[in-house]
Amino acid sequence: MPKRLISKVRRWAAARRAIVVLAAGFGLAWVGLTLFGTTMVYTSTEAFCATSCHEMANNSNMEYIGSSHDRNRTGVRATCVDCHVPHAPIPLYIAKMGALNDLWSHHVTHTVDTREKFEAQRPKMAQRVWTYMKGNDSRECRHCHTPANMDPDKQSPIAIARHEKGKREKLTCVDCHFGITHHEPKSGPGPQELDVDRSLIPRSAIF
């Protein structure tokens, strides 16, 4: 099949002038990449992420609604992707590939298709996210929250003291700020109890 296709394309190209073939390749690349990019953008929207499968719509999204990342004084929000999908191109594409796993469990294994199953899986899923966030020093948190631009005059004394302590103890955001948007699992270790080796992962790495 691929052999036949290649010879077809070869014959097509040989029957045309080089400049036309070059332009066709150029156009194909632009159209293909535009479609690719549009898919990346669309699959990063709340409209897609939060509602395309009932697993997200009935659990994760319902928990998110009304939390401080959804609703706050200024109306500046963080949606699904802001916290759960990397922002640099290469990690983003890898994460999108990982979403195939979601399709698999939705269509084939039905891992979390009822509330009960979701609750049963919750500790495992939460620990997976915490491990990921600890491993990259809460990279997605820091994409929006810049510690150097936090105004100490606007933070409470307790927040300042704790941030100071966290820095000394080399904690990362999710070590303390967990269960802020989705329900906290009823069992299992919290992020601080999870052991993650961060020494191998460079900060602000693109890969």
Partner 1 sequence: MFKKIIGRIRAWGSRPGSLFILIAGLAVGGVSFASFGSFMVYANSEHFCANACHEMQPLQKEHKGTIHDMNRSGVRATCNDCHVPHEYVPNYLAKLGLLSDVWGHWTGSIDTKAEFDAKRYELAKRVWVYMKSNDSRECRHCHTTAKMDPDKQTEKALKRHEKGRLEGLTCIECHFAIAHTEPDGPGPQELFSVKAAAADAPASAAAPVSTRKD
Q: CA neighbours within 13 Å on the CB side: how many for 207?
A: 2
> Number of residues in contact with partner 1, rule: CB under 8 A?
42
Please state, in angstroms and rounded to a whole number, the distance separating the CA atoms of residues 201 and 197: 8
CB 177, min distance to partner 1, A: 11
Q: CA neighbours within 13 Å on the CB side: how many for 134?
A: 20
71 binds partner 1 (CB under 8 A): yes
For partner 1, the closer of residues 79 and 131 by Cβ is 79
8 Å CB contact between 135 and 175:
no
Neighbours of 183 (CB within 10 A): 13
Residue span binding partner 1 (CB under 8 A) among the ranges 26-34, 52-60, 95-103, 112-120: 26-34
x/- mask, partner 1, residues 30-59, rule CB under 8 A, reads x--xx--x----------------------
For partner 1, the closer of residues 84 and 87 by Cβ is 87
Q: Go through 110-144 and write b for each residue having 16 or more CB atoms within 10 A of its CB, e for each that does not.
A: ebbeeeeebeebbeebbbebbebbbbbbbbbbeee
Q: Which of 1, 2, 146, 206 binds partner 1 (CB under 8 A)?
A: 146
Residue 153: strand, helix, or coil? helix
161 binds partner 1 (CB under 8 A): no
Q: Interaction with partner 1 in 83-112: which residues (CB under 8 A)? A: none
Site residues, partner 1 (CB under 8 A): 6, 9-10, 13-30, 33-34, 37, 70-77, 144-151, 154-155
